[in-house]
Chains A and B, each alone.
Chain A
Amino acid sequence: MSASLLIRGGRIVDPANGIDAVGDLLVRDGRVAAVDTSGGLNAPEGTPELDARGLVVAPGFVDLHCHLREPGFEEKETIATGTRAAARGGFTTVCCMPNTHPAIDTRATVEFILGQARAEGAVRVLPVGAVTIERAGRELVDMSELAEAGVVAFSDDGMPVADAHLMRSALALSRVLGLPVMDHCEDQSLARGVMHEGRVATALGLGGNPAAAEDTMVARDIFLAELTGGHVHIAHLSTKGAVDLVRQAKERGLAVTAEVTPHHLTLTDETIAGRKGLDGGRHDGLAAGNAYDSNAKVNPPLRSQDHVDALVAGLRNGVIDAIATDHAPHTVVDKLCEFDLAEFGISGFETALGNVLALVHDGRIGLPALVERLTWGPARIIDVGRTGIGTLGVGAPGDVVLFDLDQEWVVDAESFASKGKNTPLDGRRLKGQVVATVVGGSVAHAARDTVMAHGR
């Protein structure tokens, strides 16, 4: 019988239910049927099995923020390729941003995406609706209609909602719908550059975006959340100032949540300098490594180490609710050009886990806490119907990821399932890799044949 599966002998980490123990997990008819950490489960005859010994078994990851590019930019990604990449990264639910063409600002577009996802998607796709028509920042979309069609949040991602009055209205209306407004916080009159403003931008002669451009917008959004009682979700937090502001907002009991990307947690603006001799005296006279690597051009920009440290601390202590990939695939041509002209974005699904597990290996966050930020943390923000995604509770969708905490591998962008090969991590060694991804009890991705045991 399909959509049933027995996962044997793994370390089950289910933060929502406080479980971290070796055991078996049974999925029947697409839903979690039993979790046993005491002796061993019996499954009906013929149930397929996965051998999870030595692996971590966790709820499938939930990504609040990605770009699947369809409709409109199918040369960069499609729902088919994007969700296959997501499955390879251990994600079983992904929220796709509305900066498509057309933007996700009508019921028709929402239905198109959901239809494509049903037909071709490897994982669950939850669309995020635009806040304003064509994301132009002028008129609000029909929010209740989009909510009914199935959007799980509103965002003009890529663009902030610059008009404070409009943002106030959006928060007030989305409050009634019980959905968050996700904001890309950036004061664009202050952020005119292409990377983080600081010593690296100064040395490279690239225009800088000061951290203050994010901080001021986060502060505004928090005050508007307070004013309206609406739920504002800060997308891809990247500054220490913003972490502080979110912490204060939470202490005051406001409906403010936040996400951070794997790259902002692990990379700094130095990545853009490559091997260029910022410390002087270096003599290679060659192409200076990958200086001006446009694959490290992303918005918000990779920032300096002090910001990274604050983000990691914020993730650890729960100020930041979720890790979101901001998976932003681009074509080679979009990136093979002058740094100033290159598109912003990193193809992030397939490196996300290996990237953030570095924080666990370095002892900067515990494994259960990290898993929480990839599962229940984001699920709480968008799962208004409480379907149980992000957990392994009995009755929850049978969405499971199996990963090897210690497997070392080298990133090879060319081998990505995503059409976007744009990653500054290409060629880097990561520790920790997804072995299998299960969606609704069916295997959506399996990296090793060995995990597929025969049913008995």
Chain B
Amino acid sequence: MAVSRVVEERPAPSELLGTEPRRQHVLDLDDFSAAEIEQTLETADAMAEVLGRQIRKVPTLRGRTIVTLFYEPSTRTRASFEQAGKILSADVINLTSSESSSRKGESLVDTARTLEAMGADIIVLRHSMSGAPYLVARHTSISVINAGDGWHAHPTQALLDLHTIKQRFKRIQGLKVVIVGDILHSRVARSNVWGLRTMGADVTLCGPPTLLPTDVLEAFGKAPGGLAIETDLDTALDGADVVMALRIQHERQTAGLLPSVREYIRCYQVNEERMGRAKETALVMHPGPMNDGVEISHGLAHGARSLVESQVTNGVAVRMALLYMLASPGVES
């Protein structure tokens, strides 16, 4: 017998839907909420299953065109996006340009508009100048994924770092993460500061005073996780769960920011001995490419405490998750 009853109005619950408004661009992590990061990592987990299949191909992005537009050399990030796109059945076009730093040649906006006219759905942009992805996002209607812009942001790297940390520690909240090196010129550091603190980790930035940016504590706003600055590496490493070493560029020496690489190693190289100050369970990361034996010791980089290989593996899954988020046909709401 049929019974009737009064119920409150609510949408049909579905695990297939996120709760965050549909995103058009991935420009930085400063506009990702904790929930959205959580959902991205969860989707990346599901993508890892696809990567484990015998035939690594799903039809999700059939007919979609992804252009990787790289104005800066990069092997791993570009290859990682290309692989992610191809596994999802997208058409991937790779463009590289070395004309980025000059005003000669076609302007970035013109190039992007051309790609738009050709029907590109997503531009994955790597550029040596901060803010370039915002310019493309503003002047075209294509989705833009920032694959690293100047010193500003590298959100997909930070997401894969978060994914790697979560995989190992089962949480991010409450961890102490120390980022060591050239913070001033590091887009990886900036994006990780946003991502880690949003997820509740406490971040310490450590490096020589000439390579720490001005007003760091004021620059990154309020977040659940803390932020600290430390110029002494041993003090910074005290009680650390994760230590992230950044690549040190030799140009910093000629720019008058560092006395010498030798001096940098003496003060800031992350090595086995210094890791004694961190927790016993502490692990090390590096966004690559590494100067083996400079910012990180060889033994540590390739030893049991290193997450460097997991970072590379997770890169593809995280980028698949982002492409899926931006370009998939989606599900009925």
The 5 A-B pairs at the shortest CB distance, nearest first, are namely A205-B152, A292-B131, A205-B151, A280-B221, A202-B219
Interface residue ranges of A301-343 to B (CB < 8 Å): 333, 336-341
Question: What is B's interface to A at a CB cutoff of 8 Å?
Answer: 20-21, 23-25, 27-28, 30-33, 36, 103, 107-109, 127, 129-132, 134-135, 137-139, 149-153, 187, 190, 194, 197-198, 213-216, 218-223
Q: Which of B127, B150, B221 contacts A277 (CB 8 A)?
A: B221
Instruction: Report the bound CA distance from A288 to B213 in whole Å.
Output: 23
Let me know if B215 and A198 touch, CB within 8 A: yes
* Residues of chain A contacted by B109 (CB below 8 angstroms): 336-337
Instruction: Report the bound CA distance from A285 to B24 in whole Å.
Output: 6
User: Is the C-beta of A14 less than 8 angstroms from some C-beta in chain B?
Assistant: no
The interface centre, meaning the residue of B25, B130, B139, B187 with most chain A CB atoms within 10 A of its CB, is: B130
Instruction: Report the bound CA distance from A277 to B36 in whole Å.
Output: 15
User: Is the C-beta of A208 less than 8 angstroms from some C-beta in chain B?
Assistant: yes
User: Is the C-beta of A282 less than 8 angstroms from some C-beta in chain B?
Assistant: yes
Kindly report which residue of chain B lies nearest to residue A275, judged by CB atoms. B31
* Residues of chain A contacted by B108 (CB below 8 angstroms): 337-338
CB distance from A200 to the nearest CB of B (A): 7
CB distance from B27 to the nearest CB of A (A): 6
User: Is the C-beta of A283 less than 8 angstroms from some C-beta in chain B?
Assistant: yes
Let me know if B127 and A286 touch, CB within 8 A: no
* Residues of chain B contacted by A341 (CB below 8 angstroms): 103, 129
Let me know if A339 and B223 touch, CB within 8 A: no
* Residues of chain B contacted by A208 (CB below 8 angstroms): 213-214
Kindly report which residue of chain B lies nearest to residue A285, judged by CB atoms. B23
Instruction: Report the bound CA distance from A281 to B135 in whole Å.
Output: 22
Apart from A292-B135, A339-B131: 15 A-B pairs, beta carbons within 8 A:
A204-B130, A205-B151, A205-B152, A276-B134, A278-B30, A281-B223, A282-B31, A285-B25, A285-B31, A288-B27, A291-B134, A292-B130, A337-B103, A337-B107, A337-B109
Let me know if A280 and B194 touch, CB within 8 A: yes
Let me know if A283 and B25 touch, CB within 8 A: no
Instruction: Report the bound CA distance from A205 to B198 in whole Å.
Output: 19
* Residues of chain A contacted by B23 (CB below 8 angstroms): 285
Let me know if B190 and A205 touch, CB within 8 A: yes
Let me know if A278 and B27 touch, CB within 8 A: no
CB distance from B121 to the nearest CB of A (A): 16
* Residues of chain B contacted by A169 (CB below 8 angstroms): none
Interface residue ranges of A254-309 to B (CB < 8 Å): 276-288, 290-292
Instruction: Report the bound CA distance from A318 to B25 in whole Å.
Output: 49
Instruction: Report the bound CA distance from A204 to B218 in whole Å.
Output: 13
User: Is the C-beta of A138 less than 8 angstroms from some C-beta in chain B?
Assistant: no
8 A-B pairs in the complex with CB atoms less than 8 angstroms apart: A205-B190, A282-B31, A283-B20, A287-B25, A291-B131, A336-B109, A336-B139, A338-B127
Residues of A in contact (CB 8 Å), total 35
Contact of A199 with B33 at beta-carbon distance under 8 Å, contacts A291-B134, A292-B134, A338-B132 already known: no
Let me know if A283 and B218 touch, CB within 8 A: no
Do most interface residues of chain A lie in helix, strand or loop, or is the interface mixed? loop
User: Is the C-beta of A201 less than 8 angstroms from some C-beta in chain B?
Assistant: yes
* Residues of chain B contacted by A338 (CB below 8 angstroms): 108, 127, 129, 131-132, 135
User: Is the C-beta of A227 less than 8 angstroms from some C-beta in chain B?
Assistant: no
User: Is the C-beta of A399 less than 8 angstroms from some C-beta in chain B?
Assistant: no
CB distance from A175 to the nearest CB of B (A): 37
Count of chain A to chain B residue pairs whose CB atoms are closer than 8 Å in the complex: 123
Instruction: Report the bound CA distance from A296 to B190 in whole Å.
Output: 23
User: Is the C-beta of A384 less than 8 angstroms from some C-beta in chain B?
Assistant: no
Kindly report which residue of chain B lies nearest to residue A338, judged by CB atoms. B129
Let me know if B214 and A204 touch, CB within 8 A: no
* Residues of chain A contacted by B36 (CB below 8 angstroms): 283
Q: Which of A287, A337, A339 contacts B137 (CB 8 A)?
A: A287
* Residues of chain B contacted by A291 (CB below 8 angstroms): 131, 134
Q: Which of B32, B33, B135, B149 contacts A205 (CB 8 A)?
A: B149
Instruction: Report the bound CA distance from A381 to B179 in whole Å.
Output: 53
User: Is the C-beta of A206 less than 8 angstroms from some C-beta in chain B?
Assistant: yes
Instruction: Report the bound CA distance from A285 to B30 in whole Å.
Output: 9
Instruction: Report the bound CA distance from A277 to B216 in whole Å.
Output: 15
Instruction: Report the bound CA distance from A233 to B5 in whole Å.
Output: 83
* Residues of chain A contacted by B223 (CB below 8 angstroms): 280-281
* Residues of chain B contacted by A203 (CB below 8 angstroms): 30, 190, 219-220
User: Is the C-beta of A197 less than 8 angstroms from some C-beta in chain B?
Assistant: yes
Instruction: Report the bound CA distance from A285 to B31 in whole Å.
Output: 6
Let me know if B153 and A205 touch, CB within 8 A: yes
Let me know if B129 and A340 touch, CB within 8 A: yes
* Residues of chain B contacted by A336 (CB below 8 angstroms): 107, 109, 139
CB distance from B192 to the nearest CB of A (A): 13
CB distance from A285 to the nearest CB of B (A): 4
The interface centre, meaning the residue of B139, B152, B216 with most chain A CB atoms within 10 A of its CB, is: B152
Kindly report which residue of chain B lies nearest to residue A333, judged by CB atoms. B107
* Residues of chain B contacted by A283 (CB below 8 angstroms): 20-21, 31-33, 36
Contact of A340 with B27 at beta-carbon distance under 8 Å, contacts A204-B131, A208-B214, A280-B222 already known: no
Contact of A288 with B151 at beta-carbon distance under 8 Å, contacts A199-B214, A280-B198, A337-B103 already known: no
CB distance from B126 to the nearest CB of A (A): 13
Contact of A278 with B149 at beta-carbon distance under 8 Å, contacts A201-B214, A288-B31 already known: no
CB distance from B281 to the nearest CB of A (A): 29
* Residues of chain A contacted by B130 (CB below 8 angstroms): 204-206, 292, 339-340
CB distance from A294 to the nearest CB of B (A): 8
* Residues of chain B contacted by A285 (CB below 8 angstroms): 21, 23-25, 31
The interface centre, meaning the residue of B36, B197, B220 with most chain A CB atoms within 10 A of its CB, is: B220
* Residues of chain B contacted by A286 (CB below 8 angstroms): 24-25, 137
The interface centre, meaning the residue of A205, A336, A337, A340 with most chain B CB atoms within 10 A of its CB, is: A205
